[in-house]
Amino acid sequence: MEQLQQIKQWFYALPVKEQRMVSATAVLILITLFYLIIWEPLHTGIQQEQQKQQSQKEILLWMQQAASEVKTLRSSGSRSTIRDKNKPITLVIEQTVNNAGLKPAISKIESSGKNSARVLLNEASFNQLLVWLNTLATHNGVQVVSANIERAGKPGRVNARLTFKRP
């Protein structure tokens, strides 16, 4: 309380012009603090939540479309036959990688036994990777035994270490 009295005495001891300048500066500081402490974080938070909501809506729409496509494919009842049963697994992987458009992302393809192989991909498109894995499984009978997929530097891109096996 004593400090508040000292500030009041100091303020009233100032000339009127300086009192107005100090008052205006105090108001400006209060407005700036309100903006920085309350308004800006609130406004930024609302914008981020709106962006998250929009992103979730887009994902939901995509999932609904994919679900309807899956239903359509299941109802068609056609089963694909396994191709290239007698080809080496590394050759099958190389051919399907080319078809999937993932060749630039391939770092290494190595055989690890008669019917297994390891593949390293860098900066691969995640969507193309999923389509490729599905193609390998459904059309070529090649299954993923282990997968380590990490987010790469660019959005939608991944680095992957995959191990495949053909039964």
The pair phi, psi for residue 12, each rounded to 5°, is -75, -15
Establish how many alpha carbons lie within 13 A of residue 86's alpha carbon, considering only the half-sphere containing its beta carbon. Answer: 0
Give the pTM.
0.51
Give the percent of the chain with pLDDT over 90.
Answer: 60
The pLDDT of residue 11: 92
**pLDDT digits 0-9 by tens, 133-155:** 998 888 888 899 999 999 988 88
H or E element in which residue 156 lies: none
Q: Flag whether pLDDT at 78 surpasses 80.
A: no
The pLDDT of residue 79: 55
73/121: higher pLDDT: 121
The pair phi, psi for residue 149, each rounded to 5°, is -120, 125
The pLDDT of residue 83: 63
Cα distances (angstroms) measured from residue 14 to each of 4, 27, 165:
16, 18, 86
**pLDDT digits 0-9 by tens, 89-122:** 888 888 889 888 899 999 999 988 888 999 999 9
The pLDDT of residue 73: 79
Tell me how far apart the alpha carbons of residues 122 and 144 are, in angstroms, rounded to a whole number.
18
**pLDDT digits 0-9 by tens, 23-62:** 999 999 999 999 999 999 999 999 999 999 999 999 999 8
Phi-psi region of 165 (alpha: psi -120 to 50; beta: other; left: phi over 0): beta
